[in-house]
Each structure stands twice: as structure tokens, then as C-alpha cells.
Amino acid sequence: MNREELLQQTVQPIDIKAFDVVGLVEAMSKTAFQGRNLGRAAKIYDAMLQDKECTIILCLAGSLFSAGLKGIVHDLITHNMVDAIVSTGANIVDQDFFEALGYRHYVGDPFADDEVLRQERIDRIYDTYIDEDQLRVCDMTIAEIAENLEKRPYSSREFIEQMAVYLERRGNYGQSVVQAAYQHQVPIFVPAFIANRII
């Protein structure tokens, strides 16, 4: 298979607003194992939302946005259901910002021959694909943002805000967690930012 065949079907994001899962989650709270834990977590989160003194910090790990779950986090931000985010750099840069630049993640195969993918300049995130050439453009855009900043140390939160400023000036292509967080004053922290490919 060549690049065009491998990069055909985009990962489709989930629109959580299209479903009413309240009854299912409540029913699961009366079951066992992780079903019960999910129900318990939903009750705790609901109580947190009702408590105006409660600060809600959303922690993100794993390749959530490449898997189509970015819209859920975007909705949490735009509906004032989260006060701060702590995330991996991959979710923020190589997935959210990458898509805000107009690029996409594609349905892939977890058993694909990685050498074939390498030759076709395609990266694999378990069962999703990403165009390596586009990822390099994303990295170069991050480098451009960094180069245009005043020369001083930046926290991850400050740098991510500058990524949002770039998107605000340029316009983006779809929902962006980085941009929504900036617009709604929800700080994003990436503890291992320096370990990412950014700086």
C-alpha cells in the first residue's frame, strides 16, 4: 500500500452531545468492577460541578485526541466544566495543535508493518496514522512561535498560550482545545514539556 491508500480514512471525532448516557452510567453505578467506579466518578464530578468553590483540574494522558476524543475536552472547556488542564505534550502539540493547522489523524492498523510505514513517511500511534511530513510542518511552526518570542524562560502554560495566539491570528481548521482554553481562560500545563519535541 502507498501513502494515498494508507492515509484515506480520517478518525471521526465523537460528539458527546449527540448521546444521552445518563441512564446507562446510573445503571452501571449499581453493577460491579469498573462499571460501578464509573458511576461513582460521575456522581463525584456532578457534585464538583455543583460546588462553586471547587476547582476542577482535568488530567489527560494517552493519545486521546488522535483517537477522536478531542471534542469532549473542547466541550468541557466551552461549557465551563473544567478550570485547568494538565496534559501530555503529545495531546496538546502533536494532536490538537496539529489538527488546528488543518491536518488529520487517520484510521490505521496496529499490526501494520512499521518499516513500510517508515518508508511511506507515516507515523503510527497504535491504530492511527499521522503524516510525518505534516508533523514536521507542525514542529517547524512550533519552532517559529518559539523564535518570535522574547528571549526568556517560559512556563508550559505561557508557551501554550502563545500557540493559541498564533491560531487566533492565523485562524484554525476546526475545534482546538488550545484555542478554546485560551479563549475561556483555562490554563493548560504540560509538566514534561521540555521532554517533548518542542523546545
Given a cut of 70, is residue 80 above it in pLDDT?
Answer: yes
**Residue 46: φ, ψ to 5°:** -60, -40
Average pLDDT over residues 151-178: 93
pLDDT at 195: 38
Given a cut of 80, is residue 34 above it in pLDDT?
Answer: yes
State the DSSP string of 31-64. Answer: SSHHHHHHHHHHHHHHHHHH-TT---EEEE-SST
Q: Which three cell numbers stand for residue 195?
A: 521532554
pLDDT at 193: 77
The amino acid at residue 78 is: T
Average pLDDT over residues 183-190: 97
* Closest among 196, 199, 177, 172 to 188, alpha carbons compared: 177
**Helix-helix angle 132-147:156-170, to 10 degrees:** 110
* Closest among 161, 148, 37 to 92, alpha carbons compared: 161
Q: pTM for the whole thing?
A: 0.91
State percent of the chain over pLDDT 70.
97
Strand-pairing partners, residue 129, are: 106, 124
Please write the tens of the pLDDT for every residue from 117-149: 999 999 999 999 999 999 999 999 999 999 999
Given a cut of 90, is residue 187 above it in pLDDT?
Answer: yes
Given a cut of 90, is residue 47 above it in pLDDT?
Answer: yes
Pairwise pLDDT comparison (63 vs 196), residue with the higher score: 63
Residue 195, SS3 per DSSP: helix
Q: Please, which pLDDT band fits residue 196 given cuts at 50, 70 and 90? A: very low
Given a cut of 50, is residue 189 above it in pLDDT?
Answer: yes
CA–CA separation, 117 and 123 (whole Å): 7
pLDDT at 171: 81
CA–CA separation, 79 and 86 (whole Å): 18
Query: For residue 98, what are the CA distances in angstroms to 52, 112, 122, 160?
Result: 34, 23, 15, 13
Averaged pLDDT of the chain: 94
Query: For residue 79, what are the CA distances in angstroms to 71, 115, 128, 186?
Result: 12, 43, 29, 11
Average pLDDT over residues 60-74: 95
Please write the tens of the pLDDT for every residue from 81-98: 999 999 999 999 999 999
Average pLDDT over residues 110-117: 96
pLDDT at 199: 42
